[in-house]
Structure 1
Amino acid sequence: MRRLALALPFVLIPAPLVAEDFPLTSAVSAVTLYPQGATVTRAVPYDIPAGRHRLILTDLPASTPLHAVRVGVTGATLGGVTTRADFVPPRSAEKGAALAAAEAEVTRLEDALRSAEADIAAIRLEAEAAHARIAFFERLGATELPPGTDIAALAGTIGAGTLEALRAAHAAEQRADTADRGLKDLREALTRARQALAALVPEDEVRAFLAVDLWSDVPASGDLSVSYTIAEAGWMPVYDLRLDRAAGRLEIERGAFVTQDTGENWAGVAVTLSSVRPSERTAPGEVWPDLRRIVDPGQVMPRSGAAPMAEADMARGGFELAAAPAPKVEAVAQADALAVNYAYPDPVDIAAGADRVRLALGALTAPAEIFVRAVPLWDSNGFVAASFTNESGEVILPTGEAMFHLDGRFVGRQDLALIPAGGEAELAFGPVEGLRLSRVVTRSEGDRGVIRKANEWAETVRIRAENLTAEPWSVRLTDRVPYSEQEDLKITWTADPPPAGTDLDDRRGVLEWHFDLAPGAVQEVGVTQRMTWPEGKVLQ
């Protein structure tokens, strides 16, 4: 951004220059990014003499939500703010030095490549001429000769001419191929130069217009700040989770992928990442009265299943949605009871619609309880798991960009659910192929007694866990038994050995056994379950 002196000709508005009008150019200076959306701030320095004046910006993106623009001024008194989306005065066509240099470099490389390719084309013409001579000699050899022709002499001439032409064509083709291979570096340089230019080219779309009235009794200097909230930007958390079994420690290296598609490139922007989600609901639901009535048969009308929409629901969202490691530049986290903000210490460049910038947010560490999670109902082997408590004071946000590492080895990518500060979580770090699981079911169904009074269903489950690895494992085995919420459906079950816990994580009928499994050892679990219900009913 730059200051424009009062003496500069005012070319940004169609009206004649007046002393109180100051055209300013702006650029994005700071951004607070949310998981979806962003608050953008443009700070523009100004100098004005004493009196009442007007600062004018004509370079806001056309997509700027003018109704949501907030303006602040330091150094003078702020007056009215005027915005305009149509009939915006043209912007200056002046190019920045970086853009001009990038265009010049692309032009230079294009000219050099065209010249070199023209030289190669000239060499290939020599090869074509030599092939034409070869064709002439071939036709001459096939021509009917007049009587008395010295065939031997003619054959020698054709052979010598053909050989010379073949050698000339071969030499020309070799020179052309060598020259073409020599253009590899030039072509790659041109590709890089075009990419660099594409990242610098300013958008040529229509812009929005903003004029700010302000006054001061004395000459004043200060900053004009313009801020607004947009939906065309955001950030996604990315995590590298590293489990060290020997140390019993889990490290979560945090990062963020930052993108924006506002139509203008951001250069040297101060970035803050916020865990606040203004694109989601910001107010609780409403409880409405439930009026019930009785009516005569035939007058029954369907009840509406939806309550009236609260104003907060209609307006929710805020915007429209469619070796030792090398030192890192990392954002500094600032947390409170409602959200976490990460202030990145260095300015950031983000090209519109192109860049996906990754920023480091630092690492969290926590002691972890490590075991094998065994689920023979679905799996034939166990999985390494770690449970931990998030005592960092920061929320671990949900993401689809979580990479899991076990003892320094990458094991896979998984979705990660939200883990609140103080919350407990269990994470999986890949299979233990040598811890084999089997589950055999024996089932019977039928009637009891001579007089049918009840139906019966019985099942016996035999579970086997075998450790084929060379190290011991602590195992948590999970299975289930059916449960009922009806008095007439009677369910009983027994287990040998008894489970360490039932209704795991408030899931009815889910059982868990804890045991240690030495190398080569086998653990068996048996579960017997029985259900009975009255005749005439069907089990589901």
Structure 2
Amino acid sequence: MRAFALCLILTPLPVWADDLLIPSRVSAVTLFPDGAAVTRSAAFDLPAGAHRLILADLPATTPLGSVRVAVEGASLGSVSARRDFVLPRGAGKSPEIEAAEAEVERRRQALEAAEADISRTRAEAQGAEARAAFLGRLGQGEAAMTVEDLRALARMIGTETEGALADAIAARGRADAAERGLTPLRAALAEAEQALAALVPEDAARAMLAITVTGPEGAPVQGEVTVSYTVEAARWRPVYDLRLDRAARVLTVERGALVAQETGETWSQVALSLSTARPGGQTAPSDLWPLLRRISDPVAAFEPSDLAVRSRAVLAAPQMAEMDAAPAGAAPVIAVAEFDGLAVSYDYPAAVDIATGADNLRLSLGDLAMPVELVAEAVPEFDDSAYLVASLVNETGEILLPSSEAMAYLDGRFVGQQAIGLIPAGAEADLPFGPIDGLRLTRTVLDRNEGDRGVLKRSNEQSEAVRIEVENLTGESWPVRLLDRVPYSEQEDLKIVWQADPAPTGTDVEGRRGLLEWRFDLAPGATREVALSHRLTWPEGKVLD
């Protein structure tokens, strides 16, 4: 196989005697989070010599600048392209299109024949009604007739009228029944027209490639053309159903992928791969420039600009602390079939159909099951109830990709949608599964002085004391993880002391300074109390931000 980068020549294309219009189809697609790499193929069978293959069924939005062509079974020559190509009248059609057009015509004729039969039947009914009306007018002005003649005429008119009306009723009944029978014929015609439209999705101008190929001297040419290009109007994203079985303490992760495309043509029976690579994103490291710092004499007067700088620093401090404590970001990845350290790729095992402009198509990527430990996590400073959290270690050997669409189910009951981050193989993670309404939380600021609400504040001192209660109103025992906090300082002059009874199980939890953790089991009907206080002092003349 010889592959060549296209040097596209956007010029009018005359029709050669050895031109061959061949149909192509999308055979393989690699979907990225934003975009796709599309491969389409077309087989050919030609007599000896040089020929030009015309591929006139590319969508008009095909990015011709990224097209690459490869030929197997022949030598590749020049390649020309046009974006506004329209097939001339009488241009060759593929056997599939000809068969679809013939089927549309056959079903249209069947529908027209049935409609003609209905029209004839209704005409028959109208004729019978006209005959009855004519009979009704007979005998008018026949006063000279004898009584017997009038009786005979009346009997004849009655009999004939009854027969005519019966014929009309029967004909209209047959017409109505036949009218109802048109519904499946109309549906069959619409189905055939849709099948034809799928083969020829647009009648307007389309992108076209003209590819010159040459076979071995004096021998017929058989081979295949492969055209590859990238598109932006396609994407995929991972989704999960997280199903927690409390009794078995097992979490089943039902993995899926939502795929969509708006390229202007339907992808039918394509080999699909999913990748987390981002060809349209950053491909080179950022530039790092020298950082110049200076010192200068302090400014005597307080400048407004200093306030702005200081305010920005104060506002940024918590964010910077969170950034420092957060794990380093990882490149987005997808399914877990193959991981080369740079990106994850997943080859879907079956050919798929993806309609253009349709809603997202969900594909299954298989299930993962892993044991979990359950804990009731309590944050009484903000919450009134504890929350069920499943702690796990990803020992499946596969990566769980980041997703904003993870649906959580507890014992088959839907509890909500959440976002999950990247969980590499071997990593630990905590996944929430909704509130435990029977585990009630209270955090009371204790009264310490008249009128004060537990806060005693002087010019250079501040203190606070709180009482935390966790009450179990459920009928079962729960392992509880209680979280609270005390302030921390990075300045030597700002002194902070704190006390807790009972003492916390852990401090500076997960590297976040000032966070405290208590772990205990809480029996049904029991209540656990924690007393927590802190005191801040600083030099006279300073203020607490």
* TM score, norm. by length of structure 2: 0.70
Provide the C-alpha distance between the structure 2 equivalents of 1:518 and 1:412, rounded to a whole number of angstroms.
27
Contact 1:263 1:353 in 2 (8 A): yes
Structure-1 residue corresponding to 2:342: 338
Assess, with a 3 A threshold, how the Cα gap between structure 1 residues 256 and 191 changes in structure 2: closer, same or farther.
farther
In 2, Cα distance between the equivalents of 1:456 and 1:188?
86
| Residue aligned with 2:346, SS | strand
Q: CA deviation at 1:90?
A: 4.9
CA distance in 2, matches of 1:406, 1:441: 35
2:81–2:208 CA contact under 8 A, matched in 1: yes
Partner of 1:80: 78
CA distance in 2, matches of 1:423, 1:195: 54
Question: For 1:67, what is the secondary structure of its paired residue?
Answer: helix
Counterpart residue identity of residue 415, structure 2: V
* RMSD (Å) for aligned C-alpha atoms: 3.8
- In the other structure, the counterpart of 2:524 is 519
Hey, what does 1:381 align to over in structure 2? Answer: 385
Distance 1:388 1:115, change over 3 A: farther
Q: What is the CA-CA distance between 1:413 and the residue it aligns to?
A: 1.5
Inter-partner Cα distance in structure 1 for 2:499 and 2:510: 20
1:206 paired residue number = 205
Range moving further from structure 2, 466-475 or 413-422: 413-422
Deviation at 1:56, TM superposition (A): 2.1
- The residue aligned with 1:215 is 214
1:27 Cα shift?
A: 1.3
The answer for the alignment partner of 2:394 in structure 1 is: 390
User: Please, which runs of 5 or more residues in structure 1 have no aligned partner?
Assistant: 1-12, 120-174, 303-330, 448-453
**Distance in 1 (alpha carbons) for counterparts of 2:221 and 2:199:** 34
Aligned-residue offset at 1:353: 0.3
In the alignment, does 2:511 pair up with 1:506?
yes
1:264 touches 1:351 (CA, 8 Å); kept in 2? yes
- Report if aligned partners of 1:370, 1:384 keep a CA contact under 8 Å in 2: yes
Determine the C-alpha separation between the residues in 2 that align with 1:464 and 1:195. Answer: 70
**Aligned equivalent of 1:284:** 285
1:275-424 → structure 2 map (5 Å cutoff): 275-291=276-292, 333-424=337-428
User: Any residues of structure 2 matched to 1:227-306 within 5 Å, and which?
Assistant: 227-291=228-292
Instruction: Letter of the 2:206 partner, please give it.
Output: R
Structure 1 residues 494 and 109 mapped into 2: Cα distance closer, same or farther (>3 Å)? farther
The DSSP-based 3-state class of the residue aligned with 2:337 is strand
Task: Give aligned pairs, total.
Answer: 432
CA distance, structure 1, for counterparts of residue 230 and residue 342 of structure 2: 20
Take 1:35 and 1:107, find their aligned partners in 2: how far apart are those partners?
Answer: 48
- Matches of 2:193 and 2:237 in 1, distance apart? 25
5 Å matches for 1:74-153?
Answer: 74-86=72-84, 90=88, 92=91, 94=93, 95=97, 97-98=99-100
Displacement, 1:212? Answer: 2.1
* C-alpha deviation, 1:215, in angstroms: 2.1
- AA paired with 1:535? E
Give the AA of the match of 1:456: E
Give the 3 Å change call, closer, same or farther, for CA 234–16 of structure 1 in structure 2.
closer
Q: Which amino acid aligns with 1:75?
A: G
Q: CA deviation at 1:46?
A: 1.2
Select the residue among 455, 467, 473 that pairs with 1:468: 473
The answer as to whether partners of 1:99 and 1:200 remain within 8 angstroms in 2 is no
User: Contact 2:104–2:189 at 8 Å: present in 1 too?
Assistant: no
Structure 1 position 287, deviation (Å)? 1.0
Greater C-alpha Rg: 2
CA shift digits 1:446-465 (9 cap, x unpaired): 33xxxxxx611111121111
Contact between 1:270 and 1:344, CA under 8 Å: does it hold in 2? yes
CA deviation after TM superposition for structure 1 residue 293, in Å:
7.1
- Local SS of the residue matching 1:534: coil
Matched residue of 2:416: which SS?
strand
Cα deviation code 1:393-445 (max 9, x no counterpart): 33222222211111222211112222233322110011111111111123323
- The Cα shift of 1:534 comes to 2.2
Who is 1:63 aligned against? 61
SS at 1:384 equivalent: strand
| CA distance in structure 2 between the aligned counterparts of 1:513 and 1:103, rounded to whole angstroms | 78
**Alignment-derived partner of residue 485 in structure 1:** 490
2 CA distance for matches of 1:110 and 1:459?
Answer: 89
State the Cα distance separating 1:40 from its structure 2 match: 0.5
Whether the aligned pair in 2 keeps the contact of 1:38 and 1:234 (CA below 8 Å) is yes
Deviation at 1:225, TM superposition (A): 0.6
What is the match of residue 131 of structure 1? Answer: none
Using a 3 Å threshold, how does the CA distance of structure 1 residues 93 and 45 change in structure 2: closer, same or farther? closer
Aligned partners of 2:378 and 2:525: how far apart in 1?
17
Aligned residue for 2:277, secondary structure, equals coil
**Shift in Å, 1:485:** 1.5
Query: In the TM superposition, what are the counterparts of 1:35-50 in structure 2 within 5 Å?
Result: 35-50=33-48
* TM-score, normalised relative to structure 1: 0.71
Of 439, 447, 455, the match for 2:460: 455
Distance 2:465 2:30 in 1: 59
Q: What's the CA shift string for 1:290-310, capped at 9, x where partnerless?
A: 34679999xxxx9xxxxxxxx
Picking from 449, 456, 469, the partner of 1:445 is 456
> Is the Cα–Cα contact under 8 Å of residues 106 and 194 in structure 1 kept in the other structure?
no
- SS of alignment partner, residue 460 of structure 2: strand
Rounded to whole Å, the distance in 2 between the matches of 1:537 and 1:114 is: 100
Change in Cα spacing, 1:293 to 1:535, as seen in structure 2 (3 Å) is closer
